Amino acid sequence: MRLYHGSNVEVKEPKIIISRRMLDFGAGFYTTSSESQADKWSKNQALRRRSGVPTVSIYELDEEKLSGLAVLRFESPDADWLNFVTANRKGVYTGKKYDIVIGPVANDNTMPVINDYMMGNINEETALILLKPQKLSDQYAFLTQKGLSVLRYLEAKVYDETDGTVDSSDV
């Protein structure tokens, strides 16, 4: 399976980066199966960091090796997903440690709902009703070196900011 990582730089060797930002599934290396989602992320990263160029690094996920890993998969934005994301975003998750977590992305449309839920302004039932119509992209969060070991770098697509063309760099 192909996975994509959007950034302002090419990422040939993914790393687990611990930051102050609280992410949906915790500190890790994030990818998606949606090339268009990674493209959007790459453009946002280049703008936000004011350096580099929009770049989508492409990987092959060896799905046969997943059986030896601790993998948590959320098929939809359900109550378990909501509570897991909320705990991670608040920085209070203390449950089982996973190598990889797979599930929907809390995007710009869902964040107001999740923030209201985190602050106690709405209950779980209301939050899930509001989240239901969202068509969310997926994300694969690699949270350990063991998890990263199932990824193989393939190539990167670098986007020219002036005309939008793509230059691929194969390895």
In a domain, 7, yes or no: yes
- What confidence category does residue 153 fall into, taking pLDDT thresholds of 50, 70 and 90? very high
The whole-number pLDDT of residue 112 equals 87
Mean pLDDT in residue range 38-66 = 93
Alpha carbon distance 73, 71 (integer Å)? 6
Number of separate domains in the chain: 1
- Answer whether residue 55 is part of any domain: yes
pLDDT of residue 123: 94
Residue 111 has what pLDDT? 80
The pTM is what?
A: 0.86
Residue 34 has pLDDT above 90, yes or no: yes
Would you place residue 109 in the very low, low, confident or very high pLDDT band (cuts 50, 70, 90)? Answer: confident
**pLDDT value at position 166?**
58
- Interval 144-167 mean pLDDT: 82
pLDDT at residue 170 above 70? no
Does any domain span residue 52?
A: yes
Residue 110: how many other CB atoms lie within 10 Å: 20
| Residue 168 lies inside a defined structural domain of this protein | no
Residue 145 lies in a domain: yes
Dist. CA 76–CA 140, nearest whole Å:
14
166 in a domain, yes or no?
no
Average pLDDT over residues 86-105: 93
In a domain, 146, yes or no: yes
- Per-residue b/e over 92-108, b at no fewer than 16 CB within 10 Å? ebeeeebbbbbbbbbbe
Beta strands in the chain (DSSP E): 2-7, 29-31, 55-61, 71-73, 100-104, 138-142, 151-159, 166-170
| Sequence-ordered strand ranges (E) for 49-99 | 55-61, 71-73
Closest CA to 59 of 96, 91, 92, 100: 100
List the structure tokens of 64: 């046969």
Mean pLDDT of the chain: 88
Q: Would you say residue 10 lies in a domain? A: yes
> The sheet that has 29-31: what strands, in order across it?
29-31, 138-142, 100-104, 71-73
Average pLDDT over residues 66-92: 92
Distance CA 26, CA 161 (A): 31
Q: Which residue has the higher pLDDT, 108 or 84?
A: 84
Q: Which domain holds residue 129?
A: 2-159
